Amino acid sequence: MQASPITVPSGLIDMLRTARSVTVLTGAGISAESGIPTFRDSQTGLWAQYDPHQLATPEAFAHNPKLVMDWYRWRRELVERAAPNPGHYALAQIEQRVDRFTLITQNVDGLHTQAGSRRVVELHGNIHRLRCSSARCAYTVDHWPDEETPHCPQCGALLRPDVVWFGEMIPPGALQAALNASRNCQVFLSIGTSGVVEPAASLPYEALRAGASVIEINPQPTPLSIFAKYYFSQPAGQVLPEITRAVWDEV
């Protein structure tokens, strides 16, 4: 299917050329073109096929740690086979061009860092990392041991994916960094997120309240769309390179 041509409005070009501070929020949509399923897309979304409450909650893990670990191992193998797409790379380029740039992501796939982004706030953690399931133990490890349900070498408790589950708090440091970046930017880009999960969903509104202009990239309109100064309905992997080309003559 031939995507509709992408026109980058001159007002957006001027706005990004002069912006001193830009904050970006990404969701699963920016990794869709890397072959990683989103959550709520009706046919292909993970939550359309699986019940998140069976797999992505502390209760599910306590009840059946092997099922939860197997599911995350499967998702991690999907991520391992994926590569950053032009949308990820374009954001890494924009970071080089803006004085104060923060990329807040809800994704746990690590593809932004892999594409070269440095100022990344991983709001929901990272699927490549495991951490001790005991609240009293701070052990983490950057690779998955072979055992089906590995245990913490420090305290013996089960290890779990270092991601945020439903009903869990966002790591305080990440949340504060995300709020600061949202409240102190001139331009806020919301890319590939349905905007239904808090507190991420509130970040664009924090930016609007602080006087920022919002740019949204999503083939499906979201509750944020009516507040966006610019809205693109084409895929992020096509729009973002066009924006970097138009604003900074970069591919």
Q: Which positions are annotated as active-site residues? A: 124
192 touches ligand OAD by CB under 6 A = yes
**Cα 244–Cα 250–Cα 251 angle in degrees, nearest 5:** 90
Annotate 195-241 with DSSP letters as a single string. S-STTGGGHHHHHHHTT-EEEEE-SS--TTGGG-SEEE-S-HHHHHH
Interface positions, 148-167, toward ligand OAD (CB under 6 A): 164
Q: Is 36 exposed, middle or buried (0-12, 13-18, 19+ CB in 10 A)?
A: buried
> Of residues 38, 93, 133, 186, which one binds ligand OAD by CB under 6 A?
38
Binding of ligand OAD by 6 (CB under 6 A): no
Burial of 45 (0-12, 13-18, 19+ CB in 10 A): middle
Instruction: Print the binding letters for residues 65-94 with ligand OAD: x by CB under 6 A, - otherwise.
Output: ------------------------------
Residue 29 lies near ligand OAD (rule: CB under 6 A): yes
Examine residue 219 and tell whether it contacts ligand OAD (CB under 6 A).
yes
User: Which of 217, 228, 240, 247 is in the footprint of ligand OAD by CB under 6 A?
Assistant: 217
Any contact of residue 45 with ligand OAD (CB under 6 A)?
Answer: yes
- Contact status: 13 vs ligand OAD (CB under 6 A): no
Q: Residue 228 is encoded by which pair of tokens?
A: 């966006």
Answer yes or no whether residue 55 interacts with ligand OAD by CB under 6 A.
Answer: no
Pair of tokens at residue 240: 């973002």
Of 102, 133, 182, 218, the residue at the interface with ligand OAD (CB under 6 A) is 218
Out of 12, 19, 24, 27, the residue judged to bind ligand OAD by CB under 6 A: 27
Cβ closest to ligand OAD, residue 184 vs residue 197: 197
In whole angstroms, how far apart are CA 1 and each of 69, 88, 232, 234?
37, 22, 17, 12
In this structure, are residues 24 and 191 in contact, taking their beta carbons and an 8 Å threshold?
Answer: yes
Question: Site residues (CB under 6 A) for ligand OAD?
Answer: 27-29, 32-33, 38-41, 45, 56, 106, 124, 164, 192-194, 197, 217-220, 222, 235-237
